[in-house]
Structure 1
Amino acid sequence: MSKLIAIMSMSLDGYVADNQDGVAEVFDWYSSGEVDIETGGADSMTFHLSPASAQHYQSLVHELGAVLTGRRTFEVAHGWGGNHSWGPAFVLTHAIPDGWPKPNSTVHFVTDGLSSAVKQAKAAAAGKAVGVHGADTIQQCLNAGLLDELQIDIAAVLLGSGIRLFDQLANTPYVLGNPTVISGIGVTHLRYSVLKGSPA
């Protein structure tokens, strides 16, 4: 059965982007090393990772069969050129944007709610994990009790303000399993299982 894994880079003080949706500082670790990783997808990029981060990234991406994200992340990423490198992308939105869907694109829009988006993403993942991306979508999945794991890349930076990853949580506290910890250059990769929220 497919797992839902939240995957985000975050500053040490809890922000995934600055007040203008800028993410440069929390993604600096993607260019901190000597190992070249091609992302694939229509908007293929080359990351330059430390050996530890490269091994971590490749292992994580190998688990994924689809991605679930929100409209804001889709817009900031310019739709990943129509094809996300993690597999088919399911965008939770109230309305399909103009000009979409595009021919030969693996980006799908879900307008009938989170449960439907999760169901479609899991079906597309064909037994592999679904990577959940975007602060709001991750919060929704946590609040609905749907998230299985948190994979958080803690960048070595303090932003002071911006968009928080864990800002609108219900049913707290959430109990997490013991983390796996991988130290890269300018980043610490943390992975937790989500055990449960507080009693209803």
Structure 2
Amino acid sequence: MLVEIPEPEVVLGVILAFVVGLGGLYLYYKIRPFVKTKNEMFDASQSERLEYYERQLIDMKIRLDALEIQGIEQKSEDPNLELKQFLEKLTKNEVEEKPTEQVITPEIKQEKPISVPNILNIEHVNPTNYVLQLITNKAMTSRDIQITLKRSREHTSRLMKKLFEGGYVERNTESKPYTYSITEKGLAKVEEVQTSPSIA
């Protein structure tokens, strides 16, 4: 393998350029602190303004220290004075309030009985008849019926579907949840159950 060696003039030129660059950087960093730029130059007015603010801060610090010293001297006379005054006021208020206490008698109000829908005694053996009796007075939702029957939601839904398909109840689909009201056929069944309760 042959390696081509550059001419000595080229090698010297590269080395000389490198040395000149290093020398330039060295001189720049040595001269830089002595050269002032516009940002570093201060006007006389700026230095006067800084001195003015410094004097103001020193005066404020002296005043603050003086106030703190005065406050400490005043408090050193009786540090518990405020606490004593507060306790005296509190005891005076208690003494004044004791004679004015009156025995308050609780007023007894008679509660009005809660109106319960008038449901005839139907044997709770047949839930169909019981539901029909429930909805004779007013329309009810399946949730209301579920709570009254104390059965599951699925059981109540199946029962109401069976009654709807049988024509015993009418489903109002305009409101959500659906409300169920009794039909003429359902009323006839309720009357039949009331006249002969033994027939289920």
TM-score (norm 2): 0.20
Which of the pair has the greater relative contact order for Cα pairs under 8 Å at 6+ separation?
1
Bigger strand fraction: 1
Bigger helix fraction: 2
